[in-house]
Each structure stands twice: as structure tokens, then as C-alpha cells.
A and B are shown apart, each in its own frame.
Chain A
């Protein structure tokens, strides 16, 4: 026997699915969305800009300068560690 849901694809509407999904969300769903949003805010609005700037881009603007810097670093470190 075919279920009612088998005929639903023809009437499928992406927007409606998301609208209903979010507006009729369970308490668990809402809790999880809060966790996700808070986590992403902490990661991208606090941790990344304050504690995790791109080390090389913050020192040099052009790729050539970055390449020169890394090249010099690699040469200098060999002198430091390799007696």
C-alpha cells in the first residue's frame, strides 16, 4: 500500500519546508540552534579576530614579502637548531 507521503514530492517546496521546519521546531531543535549560533559567534567574532589573526598577513601585505620572510625564517632557524 502506498503511503500518503509518496505523493508529496510533486508538491515539494523548499521554502515551505524550511519555513515550517523552523517555525515548528522542537525545544531540542531550538536548543541545538542556540548552541550552534553561540559557538560560531565565539569562534568567528571573538577567537578568530582577537586571538587568531593570520600571522603572516598581519606582518606583510604582499605574497612576495611573505615568501621572502618565510624563506629567511627557514634559513635562520636552520642556523639556530642545527649546530
Chain B
């Protein structure tokens, strides 16, 4: 067996997180600006107003810069699956590969075909044909996101597969269950909406910059108008899908919900922490230290969100470790120790299966034992209860900051829309500054969202089935550190190129 240590696991995770984090700087702007430029072009086609054409073309250029620099950055994540997470890659088999392959073949080609008409086709195809190409470009990009998010959702809530001990792979038995998983559908809308919100904040913020500079005012106001309405709608629906995420997390990943709320002791009618500070003195889920320095709660809201019942019991970290807490179905949740026993039985059954298979004997007894305990297979790699507790402070603060920023944007877009409607946007400098400096907040909210989703589900690469310590490749830690540094350099260079080219184009303005 390869020499494994926590340093290797940490560096491999850090490398993946860093790559995904950088990738997510580009993707949401593509998703958001894609719709915004399409709306603007639609207005142009409907009204024939050349000013809207100029506005749409400017945002298409910004979209193009972001698309060109960001494109293929996600492929690096796929490199890492094969090299750094090879056990995982083999173990997930075609389940993970299928959505990614569809993403590459169908969605990417749709996107790539129509983007060429979008950029080269002005005055070559009819206005309606060009508009169709523009909408299909962003439809392709959004479909790409869908397939990626189906793959991610499967890791959070594995469905539609069966483990084959013969090949040591999970095999897809129900493609429909995979692509229509409620976790995947909700994740898709929540994630895409966050991209739309970011695109809207970008359009409004850059529009505000032109107003601050007192130039291209008509263009700026058009950008702000579309951005504010689109942003407001996006963030309201983000709140709705966020509530959906909370519900699914409560059902499928209760430990993540407990970490999001810093909830160690479960309770009936649990409140949602609106504002709070965790107590750094709390070192273990099992000590008696109060987890909060202070907190302001919205009564019963966590129970309502998680279980659609204001008095439902929401388990805390300790309850999930100990098991036996009340659930609606009447079943008794297993303790960590009971799950660990089942996990060990599953791994033992796999070991016995391999042995008797080599000897040419009947394997059915071990196949059955594996099947009976497979739901807890991953617990066979964990040692102590603390192993299933994610980083609570990181998850807690990321979640609450994300929600606060989301609520802030609902307010900001509503105010901007109001001021725009009253024709005061052009003269209200404080709001112009607020809109401009809010752009980074939209990026932060997206990053926080992914931290909640991914850090909150640790130690799992596949929920309950495969933890990171079983998924990682037995590489030399030094190699992973080197590639981590290489990626930092590559992505930082790309980010600098993005910002430099974009700023130059924005300063140049919409006179194309």
C-alpha cells in the first residue's frame, strides 16, 4: 500500500479547492452576463433601438473576455480526478463520467457553435437568427453547468447506482434517478441563479462606474435597468432555492446542517441563527463549552426550513454521533459506532469477496453482506466520531455570510431599481459607489456557497460511501505541493489577464 498521511490528503484537497475556487470566478460571470446580454439583444430586436444594440454588443464583448480566459479551467479538475483522486475516479465508474461526457459533447458543442455566430455573425445573419444564436450560446453554457452539477449532486446524495464488487465500481442502474435527483435540480437552480445574481451585480456596478465618470450615461442607465431587475429577481429566487437547499441538506446531510448552524445539541422547534459568533474555546463536539459567544435567533425557522414543521427536531452534531434522535419516519438513526461497525463489515465483505474470487469459490455470501452494509461503506475508513464532524467555524461563517450578502443584494437591487425608476440614479453618487463596490461581494457569496457545500460535507467525497482518505491517490506529497504552486501561478496569471483586459475594455467603453 502507498504511504498515506494527512498532509497528502490536505494538500490534495487544497489543490482541488483552489482550482474549483478559481474556476468559479469565471463561470458565474459567464452564466450571468450571458442572460443579460441576451435580454439586451432581445430588447434591441423588439424595439430596433440601436442604443440597445450598442449596449448588448458591449456586454457580449465583456462576456467574450471572461469566456475566453475562463474556458477549460474546469478541465484541470478532471486532470486531478485521474491523478490525485484515482481511487475515487475508478470507484464512481460511469456515474460520474456520464454527466461529464454529456457536458463535454452536447452542451459544450452547442455553446461553441453558436458563440461563433454571436461574435462573427452580426450583419451576416438576420437579427432574429443572431438573437437565437445568442440565446443558444448561454443555453449551452447553462446546460454545461447542469451536467456538472448533476455530478456534484450525486456526490452529495448518491442515487441510481449499484456497487459491483467484481469491478470495484459503482454502476449506473437508473440514469433518470441521477439526472432528476431533487438535490441536483435544486442545486442547479441555486447555482445558476447565483451566477445570474453575480452577472447582474457586475452590470449594475460597471454601469454605476460610468455614471461616476459622467460618461456613456444612456448606456450606463440601460445596463443598470436590466441589471437591477434581473438581479432582484435572481436574488429573490436564490432565497427560494436556498430554502430548498436547506431542506435537502436537512434530509440527506444532517451533519452539514448542524455545522452550518453551529448546532451541537439538537432541539425541537430549533431557531435559525440570524447573527452569531462561535466560541473558539469549544474544541470538541463532546465538551460542555457553550458553542456561541452570542447569537440572535429567528425562532423555529431552522425546524421549519429543514423539516417543514416548526416544531420538528433538528439533530445537532452530538445527536448525529450518538444516534437515536427522533425522526419523522419513526426509524431510529444509527450512532457513529453502529455505522462504523456496518462499514467495517462492508469492507471486510469486499476483502473476503476478493479472496474467494481468486480461489474460484462461491462469492454470494460476501456479495450479500456487502449489499446489506454498503450504505455505510465509508464508515469503515473512519476511526473516531470527530472524523465525521466537518470544520464547523468555516462552514458556519461561510453560510451566514453568504445569506447576509444575498439579503443585502435583494435590498440593493430594490433600491437601485427604485432610484432608476425615479430617474435619480444618475445623480445619486453614494448609490453609484455602493453598486460599484458591491461587485466583489457577489463573488464572495458564490465562494462562500461552495465552501458550505463542500467543506460542510467532509470527510466525504461520496456521502457515507467514500471518505477522502480512501479516495485519494497514494502520491508523494511533494508532487502535490509542486502542482498546487503551478496552479496558483497559472490561475493568478489568468486572473490578472482577465482583470487587465476587462478593465481596458471597460475604460474604452461601449463605442465599438
B505 adjacent to A54 (CB under 8 Å): no
Q: Which of B90, B91, B125, B482 has the most CB of A within 10 A?
A: B90
Q: A70-B90, A70-B168 are in contact. Are A55 and B125 (CB under 8 A)?
A: no
A29 to B67, CA, bound (A): 12
Interface residue B61 (Cβ < 8 Å from any Cβ of A): yes
Interface residue B47 (Cβ < 8 Å from any Cβ of A): no
B119 adjacent to A21 (CB under 8 Å): yes
Q: A39-B72, A78-B381, A82-B383 are in contact. Are A6 and B126 (CB under 8 A)?
A: yes
A82 to B126, CA, bound (A): 66
CB distance from A65 to the nearest CB of B (A): 11
B470 adjacent to A77 (CB under 8 Å): yes
A54 to B82, CA, bound (A): 5
The closest CB in chain B to the CB of A64 belongs to B167
Tell me which residues from 8 to 62 in chain A have a Cβ below 8 Å from any Cβ of chain B. Answer: 8-9, 12, 16-18, 20-21, 28-29, 31-33, 35-36, 39-40, 42-43, 47-48, 51-56
A36 to B494, CA, bound (A): 10
The closest CB in chain B to the CB of A72 belongs to B354
Contact of B69 among A21, A32, A52, A74 (CB under 8 A): A32
Q: A52-B80, A75-B350 are in contact. Are A8 and B126 (CB under 8 A)?
A: yes
CB distance from A28 to the nearest CB of B (A): 7
Q: A43-B72, A52-B82, A72-B354 are in contact. Are A67 and B168 (CB under 8 A)?
A: yes
Contact of B71 among A4, A36, A71, A73 (CB under 8 A): A36
Q: Which residues of A contact B486 (CB under 8 A)?
A: 47, 51
B90 adjacent to A56 (CB under 8 Å): yes
Q: Which residues of A contact B75 (CB under 8 A)?
A: 43
CB distance from A67 to the nearest CB of B (A): 5
A74 adjacent to B68 (CB under 8 Å): no
Contact of A35 among B79, B130, B169, B497 (CB under 8 A): B497
Interface of A is mostly: helix
The closest CB in chain A to the CB of B466 belongs to A74
B125 adjacent to A12 (CB under 8 Å): yes
Digit string of B462-484 for contact with A (CB within 8 Å is 1, else 0)? 00000001100111000100110
Q: How many residues of B contact A (CB 8 A)?
A: 66
A82 adjacent to B497 (CB under 8 Å): no
A58 to B71, CA, bound (A): 28
B1 adjacent to A73 (CB under 8 Å): yes
A42 adjacent to B1 (CB under 8 Å): no
A32 to B68, CA, bound (A): 6
Contact of A52 among B79, B130, B344, B381 (CB under 8 A): B79
The closest CB in chain B to the CB of A13 belongs to B124
B126 adjacent to A36 (CB under 8 Å): no
A43 adjacent to B76 (CB under 8 Å): yes
Interface residue B445 (Cβ < 8 Å from any Cβ of A): no
Interface residue B121 (Cβ < 8 Å from any Cβ of A): yes
A80 adjacent to B354 (CB under 8 Å): no
Q: A12-B124, A81-B383 are in contact. Are A40 and B68 (CB under 8 A)?
A: no
Q: Which residues of B contact A55 (CB under 8 A)?
A: 82-84, 86, 473, 475
Q: Which residues of A contact B124 (CB under 8 A)?
A: 5, 8, 12, 16-17
Q: Which residues of A contact B82 (CB under 8 A)?
A: 52-56
Q: Which residues of A contact B242 (CB under 8 A)?
A: none
Q: Which residues of B contact A73 (CB under 8 A)?
A: 1-2, 87, 470, 474
Q: A39-B494, A83-B383 are in contact. Are A21 and B83 (CB under 8 A)?
A: no
CB distance from A37 to the nearest CB of B (A): 10
CB distance from B163 to the nearest CB of A (A): 11
A48 adjacent to B79 (CB under 8 Å): yes
A43 to B70, CA, bound (A): 13
Question: Which B residues fall within an 8 A CB radius of A?
Answer: 1-2, 4, 48, 61, 64-65, 68-69, 71-72, 75-76, 79-80, 82-84, 86-87, 89-91, 116-117, 119-127, 129-130, 165-169, 340, 343-344, 347, 350-351, 354, 380-383, 469-470, 473-475, 479, 482-483, 486, 490, 494, 497, 501, 505
A-B pairs with lowest CB-CB distance, top 10 = A21-B120, A55-B86, A32-B68, A52-B79, A78-B347, A76-B1, A75-B351, A71-B168, A54-B82, A52-B83
Q: What are 20 contact pairs spanning A and B, CB under 8 A?
A: A5-B124, A6-B126, A17-B120, A29-B119, A32-B65, A32-B68, A32-B69, A36-B69, A47-B490, A52-B483, A56-B86, A56-B89, A63-B167, A67-B167, A67-B168, A70-B90, A73-B2, A78-B347, A81-B383, A81-B470
Known: A3-B127, A36-B69; 15 extra A-B contacts, CB below 8 A, are A3-B48, A5-B127, A9-B126, A17-B121, A28-B61, A32-B68, A47-B79, A51-B482, A52-B83, A53-B82, A54-B83, A56-B89, A67-B90, A68-B168, A81-B381
